[in-house]
Amino acid sequence: MSFEFLWRLPVHGDGRAFRKDEWHRGDYARLETSRRVFARTGLGRDGFTYYDHLSQIARAAELTGFDGVFIPQSAAGEEPLVVAGALAREVRSLKLVPSLPAPFLSAVYTAKIGVSFQRLTGGRLAFDFVTEEPTPNAWHGHKWSVAEQIARTDEFLDVVKGFWNNKAFTFHGRYYEVENGGFSDALSGQTLPTIYLSGETEEALALSAKHADVHFLPLEPAAQLRARIADLDARARAHGRALRYGLQADIFARHSDGAAWDYVRRLWEEAAAKTVSISGNPAASLPLKAEAFDALIEGPNLWTGFGHVRSGPAAGLVGGYADVAERIAEYVEAGVSSFAISANPHLEEAYRIGEQLLPQVRARIGALRAA
């Protein structure tokens, strides 16, 4: 089984701290510190923009052996479609995985964008499609339920794939309608982008069984993931398909287990010292208390505190390089083959993980295969 490591780009700011309002890279939060700002990115000084930082991170990921970049959808961050276009010619071989909200896009137009991206990048585009819980204060002012978003995404993917693969494509659905579609010769023959999906609801699992190439699972101990994988395998088989599986996680790895935990605990305590919770969903967040840290450890090297300090995946891996590599090898053994990972600050940590952790992971997976 082949496997891939994608570096998740910080499209809504970057910095060393846990708390967004202490990030000096980008202008995504009003800085609460009185320190003089040193970093140039995103300040409009000297012509630099935050995209210069994103570009540097992507190149670092390429140089240190990652297979691609995952570009997450976020409320107030840069739009992944735009980021993918900006980076397309700045990295040579990295796969680009922008995360897009399908219900907000025309299916035909998305297929067209996909074809053009494949022509631009030599076939390096993949699509991640997301749904989100409707909240009263969503910036986009829409209150589509997740079930409705998934129903739309289902038809959307029927159209994207049908349009891509057929010369005279006609479709009459509930949300989408196409007559005599399909790409002309110059645009046809490109590789359909790999489709990444996620979600744990019944509707989401059914959608993945039908349409996903890769399904992102929640980060849990490997034994629990095996059950989820067995379930999804069966659902996909009913469609005559086979899925691959992915995980999204922050990874804080250091030369030893103790050093990694000390570091994350210190970040947590610094964040907890402030009174305001900055989680995107205050109702769901714990008060950031120093003593809550240990309660968030849910397995060997598995810590679920990340969701309380920033948006994105709740759980992540913390530990020494050898231990984290061991956990990842366990996931590979359980059937996971895509890892979309990140850590703050993203440039330095791309080097650390690419140079120190991934070689150990590859060695372990090699050993697994040999055995």
Q: For residue 186, state whether it binds other proteins (rule: CB under 8 A).
A: yes
- Compute, in degrees rounded to 10, the torsion defined by CA atoms 348, 350, 356, 362: 180
Coil, helix or strand at residue 179: strand
According to CB under 8 A, which one of 51, 164, 321, 339 is a site residue for other proteins? 51
| Least distance (Å) between residue 26 CB and other proteins | 8
According to CB under 8 A, which one of 10, 68, 72, 181 is a site residue for other proteins? 181
Binding mask 26-45 for other proteins (x = CB under 8 A): -xx-------------x---
Binding mask 208-227 for other proteins (x = CB under 8 A): --------------------
Cα gap 94→73, rounded to integer Å: 19
| Least distance (Å) between residue 109 CB and other proteins | 4
Q: Residue 360 corresponds to which tokens in the numbers above?
A: 């150990």
Q: Residue 101 corresponds to which tokens in the numbers above?
A: 């909200």
User: For residues 353 and 319, is the Cβ–Cβ distance under 8 A?
Assistant: no
Identify residues 277-316 at the interface with other proteins (CB under 8 A): none
Q: Which residue has the tokens 């900006």?
A: 86
Cis check: omega of the bond before 345, within 30 degrees of 0? yes
Considering CB under 8 A, how many residues would be counted as binding other proteins?
57
Q: What is each CA distance from 92 to 65, 121, 170, 230, 301, in whole angstroms? A: 12, 8, 36, 36, 34
Identify residues 104-123 at the interface with other proteins (CB under 8 A): 104-109, 112-113, 115-117, 119-120, 122
- Which of residues 15 and 101 has its CB atom nearest to other proteins in the complex? 101
Element housing 298 (H / E): strand 297-299
Q: For residue 76, state whether it binds other proteins (rule: CB under 8 A).
A: yes
Strands 336-342 and 244-254, bridge-based pairing: parallel
Chain residues binding other proteins by CB under 8 A are 27-28, 42, 47, 49-51, 55, 75-76, 78-79, 81-86, 88-90, 101, 103-109, 112-113, 115-117, 119-120, 122, 136-143, 159, 171, 176-181, 183-184, 186-187
